[in-house]
Amino acid sequence: MDVAHEQHRHDHDRGLLAELHWLWKIRKFWSSDLNRALVDLADPKPGERGLDVGAGMGPAAMLAAKRGAHVVAVEPSAVMRAVCRIRRLFQWSRRRITVECGVAEDLPVAGGSTEVLWAANAIHHWVDHGLAFAEFARVLSPGGRLVLVDEDYDDLEHPDHAAHAGHEADLTPVDVDSISAVLRGLGLEAVGRHEEVAGVPAKVVRATKPA
């Protein structure tokens, strides 16, 4: 993993305490309304090649594979990948799921190999948005699309606002207008919005690579 990326991650993302933190939250990371809604937004079709960036324990990847997509789940955390790989073994669609180590800024897939890409609550972890979005433009096939969703904990209407508000100050800022502008500069058709996803306020970016 890139050193700068490792230094930038949440303090609780590192070491044994990190893994205990994630395992304590296993219910949320195993399955969530947000991941289900994200897959609905990305709408992977049977036979399409999908890429789940920051896949975690694989909730979105498993759902997309059940719908018939061939999914590469990319995740930097060794523990998360291990859980995802074990989980994959119990899926009827396991042959359509591949779990890889990687970060958004350096994706382990070939250029033009992805028809649909998505990420849930991952944008704020990425160190260099410019590199990450250039990678997205590289891996998307002509006509390929992406959907990025981060919950907006700073919104007073978010049920977890009190617990999470202000944390973005220590992370990579998530500005949907700026992100959309960068993607458009890379030749994608992109739009960012603040909207409700799975019943909570969220920052959403959608983009398509011209065919």
Q: Which residues of 95-114 are buried (b: 16+ CB within 10 A; e: fewer)?
A: ebbbbbebbbbebebeeeeb
Q: What share of the chain in percent tops pLDDT 70? A: 78
Cα separation, 8 vs 92, whole angstroms:
37
Q: Is the pLDDT at 188 greater than 50, yes or no?
A: yes
Q: Name the residue ranges covered by the structural domains of the chain.
A: 3-208
Nearest to 80 by CA among 115, 47, 120: 120
For range 174-180, the mean pLDDT: 97
Cα dihedral value 72, 191, 40, 77, nearest 10: 40
The pTM of the full predicted model, rounded to 2 decimals, is: 0.86
Nearest to 85 by CA among 104, 69, 98: 98
State the chain's mean pLDDT as an integer.
Answer: 88
Give 160's DSSP letter: T
Q: What is the largest CA-CA distance in the chain?
A: 45
Q: CA 13, 80, 153: angle at the middle one, nearest 5?
A: 55
For range 47-68, the mean pLDDT: 98
For range 74-98, the mean pLDDT: 96
Confidence tier at 5 by pLDDT (50, 70, 90): very low
Q: Which fold has domain 3-208?
A: Rossmann fold (3.40.50)
What local confidence, expressed as pLDDT, does residue 210 receive? 98
Orientation angle between helical segments 33-42 and 59-66, nearest 10 degrees: 50
Question: Which residues lie across from 72 on neighbouring strands?
Answer: 51, 98
Better-predicted residue by pLDDT, 62 or 19: 62
Token pair 């044994």 in the structure block, residue: 16
What local confidence, expressed as pLDDT, does residue 2 receive? 39
Indicate the burial class of 117 (C-beta count within 10 angstroms; 0-12, 13-18, 19 or more): buried
Confidence tier at 11 by pLDDT (50, 70, 90): very low
